């Protein structure tokens, strides 16, 4: 059913029509490795929460786009985060228009529950080696950001 509310691999223009400032606001800084060689480290995906009033659907929507070089673990983490954000919207825990809080709260859920989720998958025999995870369709985009 995620096909109704989840879009994976949206282009940069689709996910950030307002430009660079919007992109920067969607990037999630990793706490575990806040800085490597003086450079901030970010998750290898961006997630945008769209409310039902924006989308015209009862479920709202989540746009999830991965950066070039995202690993299989990054793909699973991004998908987990998307489902957590959707649950936050569905449960109406937050004001519908508070998309930033929904994204941040669902990221906190992801950080706290992801290790247990990964262990659960491994215990159930999921193949977790490189190349086994695919969540993107053929028309998906990956973003590449270069320093200028």
Residue-wise pLDDT tens digits, 87-137: 888 876 666 668 888 899 999 999 999 999 999 988 988 877 766 666 655
Angle between helices 72-90 and 99-123 (to 10 degrees): 130
Kindly give the residue spans of alpha helices, DSSP state H, lying in 20-144.
20-26, 52-55, 72-90, 99-123
For every residue of 6-43, DSSP letters joined together read EEES--HHHH-TT-HHHHHHHEEE-STTSEETTEE-EE
Can you tell me the mean pLDDT for 58-84?
Answer: 88
pLDDT of residue 71: 87
Can you tell me the mean pLDDT for 20-40?
Answer: 67
Residue among 47, 88, 37, 86 nearest 70 (CA): 47
Whole-angstrom CA distances from 42 to 34, 35, 70, 119 are 8, 9, 11, 23
Q: What is the mean pLDDT of the chain?
A: 79
**pTM for this entry:** 0.79
Burial bucket for residue 70 (CB in 10 Å: 0-12, 13-18, 19+): buried
Which residues are bridge partners to 59 per DSSP?
none
- On the question of pLDDT at 15 being above 70, the answer is yes
pLDDT of residue 23: 79
Measured in residues, the chain has a length of: 148
* 4 or 109, higher pLDDT: 109
* 7 or 130, higher pLDDT: 7
């Amino acid at each position: 059913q995620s096909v109704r509310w989840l879009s994976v691999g949206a282009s940069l223009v689709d996910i950030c029509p307002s430009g660079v400032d919007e992109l920067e606001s969607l990037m999630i800084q990793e706490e575990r490795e806040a800085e490597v060689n003086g450079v901030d480290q970010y998750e290898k995906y961006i997630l945008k929460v769209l409310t039902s009033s924006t989308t015209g659907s009862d479920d709202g929507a989540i746009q999830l786009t991965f950066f070039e070089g995202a690993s299989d673990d990054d793909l699973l983490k991004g998908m987990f985060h998307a489902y957590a954000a959707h649950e936050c919207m569905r449960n109406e825990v937050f004001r519908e228009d508070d998309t930033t809080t929904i994204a941040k709260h669902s990221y906190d859920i992801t950080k706290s529950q992801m290790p247990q989720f990964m262990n659960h998958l491994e215990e159930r025999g999921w193949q977790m080696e490189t190349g086994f995870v695919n969540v993107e369709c053929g028309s998906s985009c990956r973003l590449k950001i270069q320093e200028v």
